[in-house]
């Protein structure tokens, strides 16, 4: 037997698992989304999905993109401070603090936020106790804001971890030269560090975006009512009506949203590779 | 001179305030969880629990209670998932690390796909297939769903672990007359063990914390800890939900503290390559 054949044989069980438990259901979902009961190509499920859930489609894009932008900003600030600050206290305390949500499961994060962000939760209570506002004017954040806060809370450490690694492996001499020539830390960050860690940042953000598009527990537990994310709508179509065609049409729409983001990334990558060998 | 001192002082103050605010937002939600787990009564307008106690801990840890059953189910499923993924990913990882393969990059990417797709739409169809063949609501069904989702960790980390081993050691064993299988079992496998342990921990946690797949494939017969948490929370029983959440937190945080011991830099730098 050739090495190629042995290799494929060793890979076979793992490949079969992906084929049967991922690619086959993916095919079924596409098939169900695009065909009617007789198996004829149709777009009626998409028209139905559009008429019922167009608000939620915009809502999903708005939530996931806003959360991604916020994750991007927060992780840049955190990794920049950890990489450039001269205050040992600041660097040490940030390093200790930022990782906490990293390995916390989404369902646990959702439960934490369900209590923390409530009208009578620890956040409002602490601000009232500090005298920042009156108890009567405290509001519940358990709606779209809660979903965004939970996503940012959960995903920022992940992207920061990747970014901090990239910043640490940069050539320090260029940064130090810029600092010696009088460049401010902000300028070093924007003009020297960010361009170099951009590929890592994009990978982290895309992985975060896909994760946010897949999570079911956070929108269900943190914000109950309408509008909501497409994941919840899919679960609802199945559990309440057994309506597979519409649910799968929504599924295809969520694939398209992630593919769009991935496509932007790939295009960016190719352009970068064309200009400079990496 | 005074101005310089003032500015240093105010900078320190600003840093302290910033770190404090960050700590509040990062740790506050966890503090709220801990408070709920020991709150016997807590209602508006009280800012802190009215009475504290461990009543609900006793409810959760009662040997015949739902939580203990769920804990056993969850740990059993997670261990089975570790076994299944190891069985398929040790040979796969070895092949990816050592042998010349056609479409190697595409194969590596294929294992990432289940994580890179919005999973709800996949799970509803897996549940449908499982319903046709009678696997819905069974532990085996849940184990399969968790395994394929966790496969990317085990295959990628196993491949990285095998490729970070110095191949000269394997050749030395072959030269003194060891068979290929003997070489693999007594040289390659022990050297790859720390990486495989790290992969197993990743897989174990992934399965333990998995909610969406179990929600579609496991209900109503298989209730893992995340499903118990969800049911308790939606039913308004925040104490049981918080205690269940804390049980799920222990392995996650423990893992964060020990991961660097198993996942060394030489393996880490090869993951996904």
Q: What is the pLDDT of residues A80-125, one digit of tens each?
A: 999 888 888 899 999 889 888 888 899 999 999 999 998 888 898 8
CB-CB contact of B117 with A256 (8 Å) = no
Scanning B240-269 for CB atoms below 8 A from A yields 241-242, 245, 248-249, 252-253, 255-256
A252-256, B49-53, B129-133, B146-150: least confidently modelled range: B49-53
Strongest mean pLDDT among A152-156, A266-270, B53-57, B233-237: A152-156
Query: Would you kindly state where each structural domain of chain B is located, as residue ranges?
Result: 2-56, 63-268
> A255–B118: do the CB atoms touch at under 8 Å?
yes
In three state form, how does the secondary structure of chain A look? CCHHHHHHHHHHHHHHHHHHHHHHHHHHHHHHHHECCCCCECCHHHHHHHHHHHHHHHHHHHHHHHHHHHHHHHHHHHHHHHHHCCCHHHHHHHHHHHCCCCCCCHHHHHHHHHHHCCCCCHHHHHHHHCCCCCHHHCCCCCCHHHHHHHHHHHHHHHHHHHHHHHHHCCCHHHHHHHHHCCCCHHHHHHHHHHHHHHHHHHHHHHHHHHHHHHCCHHHHHHCCCCCCCHHHHHHHHHHHHCCHHHHHHHHHHHHHHHHHHHHHHHHHHHHHHHHCCC
A26-40, A98-112, A214-228, B46-60: least confidently modelled range: B46-60
A13, part of any domain: no
A152, part of any domain: yes
State how far the alpha carbon of B40 is from the alpha carbons of B53, B239, B243, in Å.
6, 8, 12
Chain A residues inside the 8 Å CB shell of B268 = none
Can you give the residue range of the structural domain that contains A188?
53-275
Give per-residue burial for A175-213: e unless 16+ CB within 10 Å, then b. Answer: beebbeeebebeebbeebbbeebeebbbebbbbbbbbbb
pLDDT number for residue A277: 45
Shortest distance between the Cα of B110 and any Cα of chain A, in A, equals: 8
CB-CB contact of A82 with A95 (8 Å) = yes
- Search chain A and give the residue with CA nearest B212: A216
Taking one residue from A and the other from B, the number of pairs with CB-CB distance under 8 angstroms is: 241
pLDDT number for residue B254: 83
Shortest distance between the Cα of A29 and any Cα of chain B, in A, equals: 6
Query: Any chain A CB within 8 A of the CB of B147?
Result: yes
Per residue in B165-205, pLDDT (tens digit) is: 888 898 999 999 989 889 999 999 999 998 899 899 889 99
Per residue in A122-173, pLDDT (tens digit) is: 898 888 888 888 878 788 888 899 999 999 999 999 999 889 888 888 888 8
Domain count, chain A: 1
Task: Give every CB contact of residue B196 below 8 A, 6+ residues apart in sequence.
Answer: B86, B90, B157, B158, B161
Sign, CA dihedral A194-A197-A198-A201, equals: negative
Q: What is the CATH number of the domain that holds A256?
A: 1.10.3720.10
ipTM for this model: 0.87
> B229–A111: do the CB atoms touch at under 8 Å?
yes
**At residue B31, does pLDDT exceed 90?**
yes
Q: Which residue has the higher pLDDT, A262 or A94?
A: A94
| Structure-token pair, residue A34 | 């695009």
| Structure-token pair, residue B118 | 């919005």
Which whole number is the average pLDDT over A264-275?
70
CB-CB contact of B139 with B77 (8 Å) = yes
pLDDT number for residue B146: 96
Q: Testing the interface with A: which of B13, B23, B32 to mutate, by most A Cβ within 10 A?
A: B32
CB-CB contact of B256 with A102 (8 Å) = yes
Distance CA B233, CA B236 (A): 5
A19-23, B150-154, B191-195, B253-257: least confidently modelled range: B253-257
Shortest distance between the Cα of A172 and any Cα of chain B, in A, equals: 20
CB-CB contact of A119 with A139 (8 Å) = yes
Scanning B11-50 for CB atoms below 8 A from A yields 15, 19, 22-33, 35-36, 44-45, 47-48
Chain A residues inside the 8 Å CB shell of B121 = 29, 234, 247-248, 250-252, 254-255
A31, part of any domain: no
Give per-residue burial for A7-36: e unless 16+ CB within 10 Å, then b. Answer: bbebbeebbebbeebbeebbebbbebbbbe
A240, part of any domain: yes
A87, part of any domain: yes
Q: C-alpha B50: how far from its chain's center?
A: 35
Query: Any chain A CB within 8 A of the CB of B107?
Result: yes
CATH architecture, domain defined by B63-268: Orthogonal Bundle (1.10)
CB-CB contact of A134 with A128 (8 Å) = yes
A61, part of any domain: yes
Which whole number is the average pLDDT over A63-77?
96
A5, part of any domain: no
A132, part of any domain: yes
pLDDT number for residue B167: 87
> B121–A238: do the CB atoms touch at under 8 Å?
no
Report angle CA B256, B259, B263 to the nearest 5 degrees. Answer: 150
Instruction: Please state the pTM of the whole predicted model.
Output: 0.89
Chain A residues inside the 8 Å CB shell of B127 = 238
């Amino acid at each position: 037997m050739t090495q190629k054949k042995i290799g494929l044989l060793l890979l076979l069980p793992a490949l079969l698992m992906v084929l049967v438990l991922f690619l086959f259901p993916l095919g079924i979902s596409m098939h169900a989304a695009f065909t009617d009961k007789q198996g004829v190509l149709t777009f009626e499920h998409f028209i139905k999905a559009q008429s019922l859930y167009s608000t939620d489609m915009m809502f999903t894009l708005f939530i996931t993109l806003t959360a991604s932008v916020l994750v991007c900003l927060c992780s840049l600030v955190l990794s920049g401070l950890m990489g450039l600050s001269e205050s040992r206290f600041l660097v040490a305390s940030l390093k200790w603090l930022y990782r906490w949500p990293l390995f916390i499961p989404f369902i646990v994060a959702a439960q934490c936020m369900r209590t923390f962000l409530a009208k009578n939760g620890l956040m409002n209570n602490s601000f009232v106790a500090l005298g920042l506002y009156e108890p009567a004017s405290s509001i519940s954040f358990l709606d779209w804001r809660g979903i965004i806060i939970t996503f940012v809370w959960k995903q920022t450490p992940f992207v920061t971890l990747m970014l901090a690694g990239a910043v640490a492996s940069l050539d320090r001499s260029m940064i130090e030269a810029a600092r010696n020539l009088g460049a401010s830390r902000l300028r070093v960050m924007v003009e020297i560090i960010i361009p170099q860690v951009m590929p890592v940042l994009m990978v982290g953000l895309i992985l975060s975006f896909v994760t946010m598009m897949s999570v079911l527990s956070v929108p269900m537990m943190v914000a109950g009512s309408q509008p909501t994310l497409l994941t919840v709508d899919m679960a609802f179509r199945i559990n309440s009506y057994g309506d597979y065609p519409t649910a799968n049409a929504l599924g295809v729409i969520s694939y398209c949203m992630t593919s769009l983001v991935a496509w932007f990334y790939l295009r960016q990558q190719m352009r970068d590779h064309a200009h400079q060998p990496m | 001179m005074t101005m310089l001192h003032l500015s240093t002082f105010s900078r320190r103050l600003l840093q302290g305030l910033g770190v404090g605010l960050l700590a509040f937002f990062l740790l506050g939600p966890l503090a709220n969880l801990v408070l709920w787990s020991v709150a016997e009564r807590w209602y508006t307008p009280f800012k802190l629990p009215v009475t504290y106690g461990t009543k609900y801990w006793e409810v959760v840890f009662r040997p015949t209670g739902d939580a203990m059953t769920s804990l056993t189910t969850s740990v059993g499923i997670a261990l089975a998932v570790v076994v299944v993924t190891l069985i398929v990913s040790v040979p796969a990882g070895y092949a990816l690390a050592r042998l010349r393969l056609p479409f190697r990059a595409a194969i590596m990417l294929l294992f990432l796909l289940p994580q890179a797709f919005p999973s709800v739409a996949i799970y509803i169809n897996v549940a449908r297939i499982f319903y046709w063949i009678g696997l819905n609501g069974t532990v085996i069904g849940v184990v399969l769903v968790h395994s394929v989702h966790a496969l990317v960790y085990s295959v990628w980390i196993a491949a990285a672990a095998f490729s970070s081993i110095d191949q000269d050691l394997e050749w030395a064993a072959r030269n003194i007359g060891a068979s290929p299988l003997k070489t693999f079992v007594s040289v390659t496998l022990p050297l790859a063990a720390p990486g495989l342990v790290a992969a197993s921990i990743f897989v174990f946690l992934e399965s333990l914390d998995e909610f969406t797949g179990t929600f579609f494939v496991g209900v109503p017969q298989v209730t893992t800890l995340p499903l118990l948490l969800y049911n308790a929370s939606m039913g308004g029983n925040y104490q049981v939900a918080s205690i269940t959440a804390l049980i799920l937190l222990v392995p996650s945080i423990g893992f964060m503290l020990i991961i660097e011991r198993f996942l060394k830099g030489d393996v880490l730098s090869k993951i996904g390559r």
